[in-house]
Amino acid sequence: MRKNITKERLKAGETVYGCFVRYPSASLIEVLGYQPWDFLVFDGEHGTIEPQDCEHMVRAAELQNVTPIVRVTTNQAPTILRLMDTGAQGLHIPWVNTTAEAEAAVRSVKYHPRGVRGLAGIRAADYGFRESYTEYVEAANRETLVVIHIETIDAVNELPEMVKIDGIDVIFIGPTDLSHSLGVPGQSQHPDVQAAMQRIVEIVAGTNLALGIMVPNAQAAQQWQQRGARYITIGFESLLMPAVHHYLTTMRTGTNA
């Protein structure tokens, strides 16, 4: 089992940077891996990534020693099992709204004695060739990264209890879904949404957990880092589209827009 460098850096108090990719392309992950990302998130919730795609994408990330992490479609043990078995070193779990759901997520990711994840000689365990199951289970429980999404006002209200659960590493804010939960869909700057996010910031600040967020650009990343975020992500499209726009505008107008 590979060492989870991203988790190690978080535990050391460092800030880590990652990119969300929703497209089932190992080649794209390989190309992104040539940049100094700490981790890449394969988005199975808002993308079309299936377990076989995820396995190939994990292999591509490993080429450059970038931590492969996957976002599952739902907080269900069978779904989590299939994607973690590909060799992903961490999991984003969306729509975790209660303390019981957070506990269930951790138990689905971890093996005995912390969890109930099914054990087999799968890719994550190097097919059982390099170490015993006992050694693998100990390593997997230690190295896997658990990221809980807080995306509703119910989850915000439950957060003071959620952060007490052993095995959670990152509390990840979902501003868009949070705005939807608060009745102002897409208005992440609405005062109610901002107040809810600030409450999350304050709750996490009193723990040893890392605060996570997805940002649209480097300026927003810097602002969130100042607010305490240490697990900072950006969507692949947020990087691609400004570069494409700049190139086309420059070439068609002759100005450096």
What confidence tens digit (pLDDT) does each residue in 42-71 have?
999 999 999 999 999 999 999 999 999 999
What confidence tens digit (pLDDT) does each residue in 213-243 have?
999 999 999 999 999 999 999 999 999 999 9
Of the residues 46, 112, 245, 246, only one is catalytic, namely 46
Q: Which of 90, 97, 99, 52 minimizes the C-alpha distance to 72?
A: 90
Token pair listed for 127? 């097919």
Token pair listed for 173? 């804010």
Gyration radius of the chain over CA positions: 18
112 is catalytic: no
Q: Is the dihedral of CA 241, 198, 166, 149 positive or negative?
A: negative
Average pLDDT, the chain: 96
Report the percent of the chain where pLDDT is more than 70. Answer: 100
pLDDT band per the 50, 70, 90 thresholds, residue 212: very high
71-97 mean pLDDT: 97
CATH number, domain with residue 238: 3.20.20.60
Instruction: Give a three-class secondary structure readout of the chain.
Output: CCCCHHHHHHHCCCCEEEEEECCCCHHHHHHHCCCCCCEEEEECCCCCCCHHHHHHHHHHHHHCCCEEEEECCCCCHHHHHHHHCCCCCEEEECCCCCHHHHHHHHHHHCCCCCCCCCCCCCHHHHHHCCCCHHHHHHHHHHHCEEEEEECCHHHHHHHHHHCCCCCCCEEEECHHHHHHHCCCCCCCCCHHHHHHHHHHHHHHHCCCCEEEEEECCHHHHHHHHHCCEEEEEEEHHHHHHHHHHHHHHHHHHCCCC
d(CA 58, CA 120): 18
Q: Which of 150, 146, 45 minimizes the C-alpha distance to 105?
A: 146
| 161-195 as b/e: b if 16+ CB within 10 A | ebbebebbbbbbbbbebbbbbbeeeebbebeebee
pLDDT band per the 50, 70, 90 thresholds, residue 254: confident
Domain with 239 in it: 5-253
User: Which residues, listed in sequence order, are joined to residue 90 by a DSSP beta bridge?
Assistant: 69, 145
What confidence tens digit (pLDDT) does each residue in 146-204 have?
999 999 999 999 999 999 999 999 999 999 999 999 999 999 999 999 999 999 999 99
d(CA 49, CA 151): 22
127-151 mean pLDDT: 97
The per-residue pLDDT for 257 is: 60
Q: Are 119 and 133 in contact (CB under 8 A)?
A: yes
Q: Is the dihedral of CA 131, 135, 79, 145 positive or negative?
A: negative
Token pair listed for 51? 């377990």
Q: How many domains does the chain have?
A: 1
d(CA 77, CA 24): 22
Angle between helices 153-162 and 191-205 (to 10 degrees): 10
pLDDT band per the 50, 70, 90 thresholds, residue 209: very high
